[in-house]
Amino acid sequence: MKKVSCIFLFMLIVTVMAGCSGNPYLNNVSEIRENIFAGNSDNFNVSVFAGEREKPYKADGIAEKRTSYFLVVVEPEFEADSDEVLNVSFKINNDDFSKSITKDIFRDKFIFDFGKVNAKGSFTINLKIGLYDEDITMNDLSADLTKTYLQALEEGMALLQEKYQGTLNSGKYACEIYVKLCYKKFMNTEKLYWYVAILDTKGNISSVTFDAS
C-alpha cells in the first residue's frame, strides 16, 4: 500500500510540473511570428512582421532568450540609391515611432526593427524619400486568425517529432524551433500559412507548412 501511495505521489508531482512548464517546446523556440501587416501603393510595397525572437538572431541551432520585435520592410518600386535615406514614421496607441533608414544593399530593401510595439488592427505608416511622401494603410492580416501560434507549434511539432527526438543529447534537445506566420499574394489576395521548422546544431533543418485558418 505504501509503495502504491509513493508511485501515485510521484506521478502527481510530475503532472503538476508538466502543467507549470506549459508548452514543452517553448524553451527551444527562437522565433515566434504571430502578426503580419501589409500595405502598398504605386511606389512602395510594405510589410511588417511582429512577434518575439532571440537576440542576437543567429541560425545556429541554439535558442536564446526572446525579445519583442516589430520589423518594418519597405520595398520601393523605383530605383533608390544606396546612400538615400528613407524616413519612416507611424503612431500606435498614441505612441509615435520614427526612424531614418538606409537601404540593405544585400536585399535591396529598407529594413528596421522597432522593438516592442503593441499594434493590433490596421494603422497608417508614412514614408518619405526624395520627392516621395506617402501615407500607406497597413492592414492587419492576422486579425481574423483562428489558429494561434501555440496551436501551430503543436501541429507542426507533431509532424516533426522524429526530427525533434533525434536531436536529444544528454537530456536536452540540441536544436532551435521557428514558428512563423507567413503570407503569399495569390490573385490579389493574401494567403496566410504557418511555417514550423527545426534547426539542429549541425545546420540541418526540417520544416512543415500548413494553412493558418
- Tell me the pLDDT tens digit for each residue of 11-43: 333 333 333 347 899 999 999 999 999 999 999
CA 39, 43, 45, 48 torsion-angle sign: negative
Q: pTM here?
A: 0.86
71 vs 168: CA distance, rounded Å: 33
Instruction: Return the domain boundaries, the chain.
Output: 33-140, 144-211
Spans of the chain, pLDDT less than 70: 1-21, 186-189
Q: How far is CA 80 from CA 85, 93, 104, in A?
A: 9, 32, 11
CATH number assigned to the domain with residue range 33-140, chosen from the 4 options 3.90.930, 3.40.50, 2.60.40, 2.30.30? 2.60.40
Is the preceding omega at residue 56 within 30 degrees of 0, hence cis? Answer: yes
